Amino acid sequence: MKKIFILTGEPSGDKLASTVVTKLQQDHSDIEYLSVGGSHLNNLGIKSIYDLKEITYIGFTSVILNLFTIRNKINETVKKIIEFNPDILLSVDSPDFTLRVAEKVKNINPNIKTIHYVAPQVWVWREGRVKNFKKFLDHILLLFNFEKKYFDKENIKNTFVGHPLLENKENIKTNLSNIIDDNKKIISVFAGSRSSETNILLPILVNFIKLMNEKYNDYNFVFHATEQNKDLIKDEIKRINFENVEVISDENIKSQILSNSIFAVAKSGTVSLEICNAKVPSIIIYKMNLINFFIVKFLVKTKFANIINIINQKEIIPELIQKECNSKEIFKSVIYFLKNPELMKKQIVDVNNTLNEIKSKTSSSSEASAVISSYLNT
């Protein structure tokens, strides 16, 4: 029996991995899996060697403060992978964790094929890393076609597979009237997938909703939560006693709520592509502590945080970062869009044009599964 170890480092990577593994399970019934994963992989029956929360850190200072713990987790993970002795180590995103593990595994057992899914964003910062990847990665699966040139230049095997979150999936229809007031318009809110992000953004978003409720009474706000942060958000909403706020963690219901939303306020990251694909206008928010912010500002080469803006090299989706990430600015931006529906329509058109350029021609999960399967057959 063939074996695959799936290595993720945060909830968004767990979600991405699950899309590919679902396809692999359909095509191969005889693969044994083990992982560092979360709820999405667990739902597919794949055991994780420890809770994903144990390695989910955000920002340079958080990483520095937890260096000893992270180093121990890397070594523990390497040990477990070597013991499992997989045919393939599939690492997903979170390069500062997953690629350190992959490099150590390859050095110990060169026979294990190493495939990395979601190329490190060398076009944003630390392009010099690419040379080192060749030493321990057998293949890189790319989400965006423009990334190819960086890896082709170093003769690293790579395949553009597209982004699985840009695929249109059939959802089981749920009666949303049991969850949301039919008479009110929905604004979807995303406070991040990690508790460390949510702790920073939640108070800001709560104050934004307070400002909205002071002026308007025809909106429902839905927090799109993860298994990791849903209790944190629910406790805060319960404490304030909002009557027009819901917290949802079920993936199917979240997807339907997003499709029925008139607007979204989202933490910068992978979720932005889901919002774009649902054709929902949005703004992006992000905030970190000052030390992390100055380090990022020094290292990062791009002017924008959002991938749509980066590709277009101009602001299609407004970004409220750092000091602009406050309840009043969010309120002003959201109301400006809601009062100018032509701007919302224009954003959707511009975003859709960009998505058409970066989408895979076929199923992303099928493309990724095909590459992984080719290594199983060697």
Do the Cβ atoms of 119 and 142 come closer than 8 Å?
yes
Residue 233 makes CB contacts below 8 A (sequence gap 6+) with 191, 198, 202, 223, 225, 247
Q: Which 3 state secondary structure label does DSSP give 89?
A: strand
- Residue 94 token pair: 């979170």
Element of type H or E holding 371: helix 364-376
What dihedral do alpha carbons 299, 353, 320, 144 form, nearest 10°? -30
- What is the C-alpha separation between 254 and 247, in angstroms, rounded? 9
Q: Which of the 8 DSSP states describes residue 173?
A: P
pLDDT score for 127:
56
Query: Which domains are present in the chain?
Result: 2-163+360-376 (3.40.50.2000), 176-358 (3.40.50.2000)
Question: Cβ atoms within 10 A of the Cβ of 300, count?
Answer: 14
Residue 351 makes CB contacts below 8 A (sequence gap 6+) with 276, 279, 308, 316, 317
Residue 119 CA to chain centroid, in angstroms?
Answer: 13
Q: What is the pTM of this model?
A: 0.78
Could you tell me the strand order of the sheet in which 261-267 lies? 245-248, 219-224, 185-190, 261-267, 282-286, 319-321
Q: Which 3 state secondary structure label does DSSP give 363?
A: coil
Q: How far is CA 346 from CA 206, 280, 281, 282, 359, in A?
A: 28, 11, 9, 12, 20
- What is the C-alpha separation between 310 and 238, in angstroms, rounded? 38
**Of 286, 273, 265, residue with least CA distance to 334:** 265
Strand residue runs (E) in the chain = 2-7, 31-36, 88-92, 113-117, 139-142, 158-160, 185-190, 219-224, 245-248, 261-267, 282-286, 319-321
Amino acid at position 233, single letter: I
- Residue 101 token pair: 């593990």
What residue spans of 51-117 are helical by DSSP H? Answer: 60-65, 67-84, 95-108
Query: How many residues appear in the chain?
Result: 378
Task: Note the pLDDT tens digit of each residue in 244-276.
Answer: 999 999 988 999 999 999 999 999 888 899 999
Q: Do the bridges between strand 158-160 and strand 139-142 make them parallel or antiparallel, or are there none, so unpaired?
A: parallel
Do the Cβ atoms of 52 and 227 come closer than 8 Å?
no
pLDDT below 50 — which residues of the chain?
58-61, 63, 65, 124-125
Buried-state track 8-46, b at ≥16 Cβ within 10 A, e below 16: bbbbbbbbbbbbbbebbeeeeeebebbbbbbbbbbebeb
**Of 127, 154, 62, 148, residue with least CA distance to 299:** 127
**Of 356, 173, 143, residue with least CA distance to 259:** 173
End-to-end CA distance of the chain: 14
